[in-house]
Amino acid sequence: MNNKWRRLNGEQITSIKKAVEETIVKETANGNRLKVCIGSDSQVRGDAVEFATVIVFLREKKGGFMFIYNERSTQHFSLKERMLTEVAKSISIAYELCDLFDRYNIEMEVHADINTNPNFESNTALRDAMGYILGMGFVFKAKPDAFASSCCADKVV
Protein backbone atom coordinates (compact mmCIF):
# COMPACT_ATOMS: atom_id res chain seq x y z
CA MET A 1 0.00 0.00 0.00
CA ASN A 2 2.87 2.40 0.74
CA ASN A 3 4.13 2.85 -2.83
CA LYS A 4 1.29 5.14 -3.95
CA TRP A 5 1.21 7.67 -1.10
CA ARG A 6 2.05 11.23 -2.07
CA ARG A 7 1.87 14.80 -0.86
CA LEU A 8 -0.51 17.29 -2.47
CA ASN A 9 2.42 18.71 -4.49
CA GLY A 10 2.93 15.25 -6.06
CA GLU A 11 6.04 14.33 -4.06
CA GLN A 12 6.07 10.55 -3.54
CA ILE A 13 6.12 9.09 -0.03
CA THR A 14 8.05 5.83 0.17
CA SER A 15 7.02 4.79 3.68
CA ILE A 16 3.76 6.24 4.98
CA LYS A 17 4.44 5.21 8.57
CA LYS A 18 7.88 6.85 8.53
CA ALA A 19 6.52 10.00 6.86
CA VAL A 20 3.71 10.30 9.42
CA GLU A 21 6.10 9.87 12.35
CA GLU A 22 8.57 12.40 10.90
CA THR A 23 5.68 14.82 10.37
CA ILE A 24 4.46 14.42 13.96
CA VAL A 25 7.98 14.94 15.35
CA LYS A 26 8.62 17.99 13.13
CA GLU A 27 5.25 19.63 13.75
CA THR A 28 5.33 19.13 17.53
CA ALA A 29 8.94 20.41 17.65
CA ASN A 30 7.65 23.54 15.89
CA GLY A 31 5.11 23.97 18.69
CA ASN A 32 2.08 22.85 16.68
CA ARG A 33 -0.65 20.83 18.30
CA LEU A 34 -1.89 18.25 15.77
CA LYS A 35 -5.11 16.43 15.11
CA VAL A 36 -5.32 13.79 12.36
CA CYS A 37 -8.42 12.96 10.32
CA ILE A 38 -8.46 10.01 7.93
CA GLY A 39 -11.07 9.60 5.22
CA SER A 40 -11.75 8.10 1.82
CA ASP A 41 -13.96 8.90 -1.14
CA SER A 42 -14.66 7.26 -4.48
CA GLN A 43 -16.02 8.06 -7.93
CA VAL A 44 -17.34 5.70 -10.56
CA ARG A 45 -15.61 6.46 -13.87
CA GLY A 46 -16.77 4.25 -16.72
CA ASP A 47 -16.08 0.62 -15.82
CA ALA A 48 -13.78 1.51 -12.91
CA VAL A 49 -14.04 2.97 -9.43
CA GLU A 50 -11.40 5.50 -8.38
CA PHE A 51 -10.65 5.66 -4.65
CA ALA A 52 -8.74 8.30 -2.71
CA THR A 53 -7.71 7.99 0.93
CA VAL A 54 -6.28 10.97 2.78
CA ILE A 55 -4.48 11.56 6.04
CA VAL A 56 -5.26 15.15 7.00
CA PHE A 57 -2.99 16.84 9.54
CA LEU A 58 -4.63 19.80 11.25
CA ARG A 59 -2.41 22.27 13.07
CA GLU A 60 -4.40 23.95 15.82
CA LYS A 61 -5.19 27.48 14.54
CA LYS A 62 -2.54 27.15 11.79
CA GLY A 63 -4.17 25.30 8.87
CA GLY A 64 -3.32 21.84 7.69
CA PHE A 65 -2.06 19.56 4.95
CA MET A 66 -2.62 16.02 3.74
CA PHE A 67 -1.06 12.86 2.40
CA ILE A 68 -2.94 11.15 -0.44
CA TYR A 69 -3.33 7.59 -1.68
CA ASN A 70 -5.13 6.86 -4.98
CA GLU A 71 -6.33 3.48 -6.13
CA ARG A 72 -8.42 2.15 -9.00
CA SER A 73 -10.65 -0.93 -9.05
CA THR A 74 -12.52 -2.62 -11.87
CA GLN A 75 -14.68 -4.54 -9.38
CA HIS A 76 -18.41 -3.75 -9.54
CA PHE A 77 -19.80 -2.37 -6.26
CA SER A 78 -23.31 -1.58 -5.11
CA LEU A 79 -23.48 1.88 -3.51
CA LYS A 80 -23.48 0.40 -0.01
CA GLU A 81 -20.50 -1.86 -0.84
CA ARG A 82 -18.60 1.11 -2.23
CA MET A 83 -19.32 3.23 0.88
CA LEU A 84 -18.16 0.41 3.16
CA THR A 85 -15.06 -0.16 1.00
CA GLU A 86 -14.19 3.51 1.49
CA VAL A 87 -14.59 3.03 5.25
CA ALA A 88 -12.45 -0.13 5.15
CA LYS A 89 -9.67 1.77 3.35
CA SER A 90 -9.76 4.51 6.00
CA ILE A 91 -9.79 2.00 8.85
CA SER A 92 -6.90 0.08 7.31
CA ILE A 93 -4.58 3.10 7.34
CA ALA A 94 -5.89 4.30 10.72
CA TYR A 95 -5.10 0.88 12.19
CA GLU A 96 -1.63 0.87 10.59
CA LEU A 97 -0.85 4.26 12.15
CA CYS A 98 -2.78 4.22 15.45
CA ASP A 99 0.25 3.15 17.53
CA LEU A 100 2.05 6.32 16.37
CA PHE A 101 -0.92 8.50 17.28
CA ASP A 102 -1.10 6.83 20.70
CA ARG A 103 2.65 7.15 21.27
CA TYR A 104 2.65 10.87 20.45
CA ASN A 105 -0.78 11.54 22.00
CA ILE A 106 -2.31 12.74 18.71
CA GLU A 107 -6.10 12.90 18.47
CA MET A 108 -7.38 10.95 15.44
CA GLU A 109 -10.77 10.65 13.75
CA VAL A 110 -12.01 8.42 10.93
CA HIS A 111 -14.35 10.24 8.55
CA ALA A 112 -17.00 8.49 6.45
CA ASP A 113 -18.42 10.10 3.31
CA ILE A 114 -21.89 8.95 4.31
CA ASN A 115 -24.88 11.21 4.77
CA THR A 116 -26.66 11.23 8.13
CA ASN A 117 -29.82 12.39 6.35
CA PRO A 118 -32.00 9.33 5.54
CA ASN A 119 -33.17 11.01 2.30
CA PHE A 120 -29.75 10.33 0.78
CA GLU A 121 -28.91 6.94 -0.72
CA SER A 122 -25.52 6.69 1.03
CA ASN A 123 -27.38 6.68 4.37
CA THR A 124 -28.05 2.94 3.89
CA ALA A 125 -24.41 2.32 4.91
CA LEU A 126 -24.40 4.66 7.93
CA ARG A 127 -25.17 2.13 10.67
CA ASP A 128 -22.66 -0.42 9.34
CA ALA A 129 -19.93 2.19 8.85
CA MET A 130 -20.47 3.66 12.30
CA GLY A 131 -20.35 0.21 13.91
CA TYR A 132 -17.21 -0.72 11.96
CA ILE A 133 -15.33 2.47 12.89
CA LEU A 134 -16.47 2.61 16.53
CA GLY A 135 -15.94 -1.14 16.89
CA MET A 136 -12.29 -0.62 15.94
CA GLY A 137 -12.03 1.94 18.74
CA PHE A 138 -11.79 5.01 16.52
CA VAL A 139 -13.67 8.32 16.71
CA PHE A 140 -16.34 8.37 13.98
CA LYS A 141 -17.52 11.37 11.95
CA ALA A 142 -20.09 11.37 9.13
CA LYS A 143 -21.42 14.16 6.90
CA PRO A 144 -21.59 17.10 7.45
CA ASP A 145 -18.64 16.76 9.89
CA ALA A 146 -16.57 14.34 7.78
CA PHE A 147 -14.50 16.89 5.84
CA ALA A 148 -11.52 14.53 5.37
CA SER A 149 -13.63 12.29 3.15
CA SER A 150 -16.31 14.61 1.77
CA CYS A 151 -14.00 17.57 1.01
CA CYS A 152 -10.32 16.55 1.03
CA ALA A 153 -10.50 13.06 -0.49
CA ASP A 154 -13.29 14.22 -2.80
CA LYS A 155 -10.92 16.78 -4.37
CA VAL A 156 -8.18 14.23 -5.16
CA VAL A 157 -10.19 11.18 -6.26
Instruction: List pLDDT tens digits, range 92-109.
Output: 999 999 999 999 999 999
Please tell me the distance from the alpha carbon of residue 54 to that of residue 128, in angstroms, as a whole number: 21
- What band does 48 get if pLDDT is binned at 50, 70 and 90? very high
Widest pairwise Cα distance in the chain: 47
Cα four-point dihedral sign 93, 141, 71, 157: negative
pLDDT in tens, 128-152: 999 999 999 999 999 999 999 999 9
pLDDT at 49 over 80: yes
**What would the mean pLDDT of 76-88 be, rounded to a whole number?**
96
Residue 118 in this model has a pLDDT that exceeds 90:
yes
Predicted pLDDT at 2: 41
Q: What local confidence, expressed as pLDDT, does residue 1 receive? A: 40
The per-residue pLDDT for 34 is 97
> For 2-41, what is each residue's pLDDT tens digit?
458 999 999 999 999 999 999 999 999 999 999 999 999 9
User: In this structure, is the dihedral angle defined by the CA atoms of residues 81, 149, 23 and 134, taken in order, positive or negative?
Assistant: negative
User: How does the average pLDDT of the chain come out, rounded?
Assistant: 95
H or E element: which one contains 64?
Answer: strand 64-73
**Euclidean distance between CA atoms 48 and 29, whole angstroms:** 43
pLDDT at 126 over 90: yes
Spatial contact of 124 and 80, defined as CB atoms under 8 Å apart = yes
With residues binned 3-state (H G I as helix, E B as strand, rest as coil), the percentages for the chain, rounded to 5, are 45, 35, 25
Q: What's the confidence (pLDDT) of residue 3?
A: 52
pLDDT number for residue 52: 97
* 64-73/5-7 β-pairing: antiparallel
Is 39:58 a contact under the CB 8 Å cutoff? no
The C-alpha atoms of residue 12 and residue 127 are separated, in whole angstroms, by 35
